[in-house]
Amino acid sequence: MTAARAIIHVDMDAFYAAIEQRDNPQWRGRPLVVGELGPRSVVSTASYEARPFGVRSAMPTLTAKRLCPEAIFVPVRMSRYQEVSAQVFEVFAEVTPQIEGLSLDEAFLDVTGSLRLFGGQVEAIGRFIKAQIRARTALNASVGMAHNKLLAKLASELSKPDGLLRITQDSVQSILDPLPVGRLWTIGKVAEAGLHRLGIRTVRDLREADARRLAQAMGNQAVHWQRLARGLDDRPVEAGEEKSVSAETTFETDLDTLDQALAWLARLAERVGERVRAHGLQGRTVTVKLRKPPFETHTRQVTLVEPSDVTAVILDAGRTLLRRWWQGETTPRLRLLGIGLSSFGELPQSSLFDNAAGRAQDHVADRINRKFGGGSLVRGAVLKARKPRDDESS
């Protein structure tokens, strides 16, 4: 018998509006609408404070203004939302490479292969994702967990806002049966109205309906709908190809010495190396990200002779890039530092032997850190790294 999958659906709560309230503290706790007032403008997102007034996405903003006269209307800042979305997806990539992004603020994750790293508990992965997103972005995510995509998405919807819910195989029908039939995936307003005419109003009604009568009235979709009513969904998580693995951190106090920067680079390179090996990847391009205060960002890249997954190789390349940048600055200071690996490809057979010592050391460290927690075994250079601010990412 095939083992059950572990699927997670993550949906950020009122994503655009939450970012605006985070970036503008004076708007927190007040009804806020992302979308400019105008005859052709629509609501992109409404904060939870605006929703009790009936304000919804895709509604004309003039209608939203009529429903909620006290609402604050702000323009869409897509580049800002994309920036924060990248931080969220970095968290996903630390858990699994099997990520199906649905939008900037929503994704499915197949974490079946990651369970052993979290003690076999999908709830531990869900809590990790929520905590890391909160720490790095100060935003809330709702996380649904189940053995398929249908139920994982339903779990996140039912637990909003700031939710964490798992639907187990034993609890499927007790959760599904009372729901309105329109809550099921692919059952739109027209189909829902047709089912209502047949006296089918809940998921239980649909599940228990006579299959032949249902098919005669509703067509070929009826079989599919009854599968959904039983909580059955075989769709895979359709992951895009992993393009890069990176780690970065923002410092509460700017780094002003090269020794501090090198120590932090070592810590970040260890995280990148561990994730690359966990995903079975080897990369050729090492990128270092450097941000000067207040918000001037630079990147430096180097291409390795051949793909590698060895932490020492990644770190050595990163050190070279960091030193060159540091020496070229008149008064070098760092607000943020990051390192990443990309351009993934096959690792030549010769390299397996050339880096045997480094690879063996890495695998020992990986096993110890998985068993006793990240950071249990680190390079000596890492010990000079001081504590970052709360939004550290890895």
Cα 95 → chain centroid: 9
User: Which long-range contacts (C-beta less than 8 Å, at least 24 apart) are formed by 124-128?
Assistant: 125/6, 125/8, 125/95, 126/8, 126/164, 126/166, 127/164, 128/95
Give Dmax over CA atoms of the chain in angstroms.
Answer: 79
Backbone angles phi, psi at 247, to 5 degrees: -145, 140
Asked if 70 is an active-site residue, the reply is no
Q: Is 11 one of the annotated binding-site residues?
A: yes
Structure-token pair, residue 179: 């729901």
Q: Are 184 and 233 in contact (CB under 8 A)?
A: no
Query: CA dist 22 to 42, 56, 91, 171, 223, Å?
Result: 22, 20, 19, 36, 45
Which of 49, 100, 106, 270 does the annotation list as catalytic? 106
Structure-token pair, residue 223: 């079989």
Q: Is 309 one of the annotated binding-site residues?
A: no
Question: 65 CB contacts (<8 Å, ≥6 apart)?
Answer: 37, 71, 73
Q: Are 353 and 264 in contact (CB under 8 A)?
A: no
Q: Which residues are annotated as a binding site for Mg(2+)?
A: 11, 105
Residues carrying an active site annotation: 106
Q: Which residues are annotated as a binding site?
A: 11, 105
